[in-house]
Amino acid sequence: MSSALYAVMRKEFRQMTRDKRMMALLILAPTLQLFVLGFAANYDVDRIETATCDSDRTAASRALRQGLLADGTFIDVGPARDCRRPGDDIRDGRAKVVLVIPDGYARDLASGRTADVQVLVDGTNPVIGRYASSAASTYLNLVSARRQLPSLAAMSAAAGAEIRVPTISVAPRVLYNPAMRSAIFMVPGVSAMVLLIVTTIATAMGLAREREMGTLEQVMVTPISRSELLLGKVMPFVIVGLFDVLLALVVGTWVFHVPVRGSLAVLGLGTCLYLLSTVGVGLLISTVSRTQQQAIMGGFFVMMPAILLSGVMTPIENMPGWLQPVTWLNPVRFFVEILRGVLLKGAGVVDLWIPFVALAAFGPAVVALAVGRFRKRLA
């Protein structure tokens, strides 16, 4: 290692460790954020507030309501306030779902007619809305099917021959995350996000701060090469980032029970490549910023789309076709693929060759671009 590169790294580490707030930002903040966001970014839907408007008031109607509320997906918030306008309870936020059982429900069932049951669902949050309507339909279809069985039996008895009703028995077996807990899926994504924010902003601000303070002028007048200076400035953040990932793994496995099925070495390699990309983006931002404020603005300008187009929040496959290719320029996307692949599926470098190659190309390219843009001159 060149003595100049080593000198820059030494200096960066000294400044970093002396600045308590910086240390908190680099070590404590990511861990806390993962802890909090891991709980917050939870797409497991249950405990959907449900009001009922039972105009039938029979044993059958009560049984229908009890059944819907049985497994905890829906919880009872009591009868709807006005059965003439059941939507009111959804509008004022008292309930997300209103079950409307009209007068005559039991009578219709008993006489073999189709009984109309209405389920009103709040679609404001599509995730909850979709889940609620599908859970309610599943339940009501099941009730309906159970109702048909005695009739079929009676029919076959009357016909004197067995009537065969073909059915498909479905037994899905869910791999990798059998309980389908969203935390296991979200925690790797949130880790990638937090790591992006911390390392990009810290590197983007580092150079801008030196420019503002005037120390960069004193550095520029030494014969240090641009790459020694810039690499020396970002390497410490790569090392801190690796440490952050280690902490994230600890929090992820202990608090959120995220499995570690693959090799830590593969994860380490992926993290190094990813961090090279994030600090490279930070460097690039700092070469176009004069002040720390501009660096922060530039950082957010880049990070917002990087996070939204990463597949952390929403699946990339659900994005419109023209937008999907944009995610190929996004290192967060690839690191999330590596994290999820290694942790949840135990995938190796060969399985994940696409994201590995992408990051191995992106990181050095963006760092080289930043070094090329940087000028050891004023104005």
Partner 1 sequence: MSDLITVSRLCRSFGSFQAVKDVSFKVGRGEIFGYLGANGAGKSTTIRMLCGLLQPTSGSAVVAGADVARDPEGVKRRIGYMSQKFSLYPDLTVFENLDFFGGAYGLSGRALRSRIDEVLDELGLRDRSRSLTSSLPGGARQRVALANALLHNPDVLFLDEPTAGVDPASRRDFIALVRRRVAQGTTAFLTTHYMDEAEYCDRVGLMVAGCLKVLDTPSALKANHVPGALFEVRTARRGDVTAALNAIQGLATIQRIGAGLRVRYDPSPGRDRVAESALAADPDAVVEAAEASLDDVFRAVVDQEAQ
Q: Where do contacts with partner 1 occur on this chain (CB under 8 A)? A: 3-4, 6-8, 10-11, 14-15, 18-19, 213-215, 217-224, 229, 376-379
Residue 378 three-state SS: coil
Residue 128 C-beta: closest distance to partner 1, Å: 50
Nearer to partner 1 (CB atom), residue 126 or residue 214: 214
Q: 117, 123, 152: which is closest to 137 by C-alpha? A: 117
∠55-59-65 over CA atoms, to 5°? Answer: 65
- Closest Cα partner for 269 from 355, 370, 369, 187? 355
- DSSP label of 328: G
State the minimum distance, in angstroms, from the CB of residue 232 to partner 1. 9
Please report how the helices 264-288 and 226-255 are oriented relative to each other, as an axis angle in degrees rounded to 10.
130
Residue 96's nearest CA partner among 61, 59, 62, 135 is 135
What lies within 8 Å, CB to CB, of 112 at 6+ separation is 151
Q: Please identify, using beta-carbon distances, which residue of 15 and 151 lies nearer to partner 1.
A: 15
What is the nearest approach in angstroms of partner 1 to the Cβ of residue 216? 8
In angstroms, how far apart are the furthest CA atoms of the chain? 103
Closest contact distance (angstroms) between CB of 22 and partner 1 is 10
Residue closer to partner 1 by CB (options 12, 49) is 12
Closer by beta carbon to partner 1, 221 or else 288: 221
The CA distances from residue 120 to 52, 56, 73, 94, 116, in Å, are 10, 17, 16, 13, 13
Least Å distance between CB 229 and partner 1?
8
Whose Cβ is closer to partner 1: residue 182's or residue 227's?
A: 227
Matching residue, tokens 């983006």: 281
The contacts of residue 289 (CB under 8 Å, 6+ apart) are 204, 208, 295, 298
Least distance between partner 1 and beta carbon 14 (Å): 6
Residue 217 Cβ vs partner 1, minimum distance, rounded to whole Å? 5
Q: By C-beta, is 81 or 226 nearer to partner 1?
A: 226
d(CA 133, CA 90): 14
DSSP 50-71: EEEEESS-SHHHHHHHHHHTTT
**Residue (171 or 379) nearer to partner 1, CB:** 379
Q: Are strands 97-101 and 118-121 parallel, antiparallel or unpaired?
A: antiparallel
Q: How far is the CB of 3 from partner 1 (least distance, A)?
A: 3
Closer by beta carbon to partner 1, 219 or else 360: 219
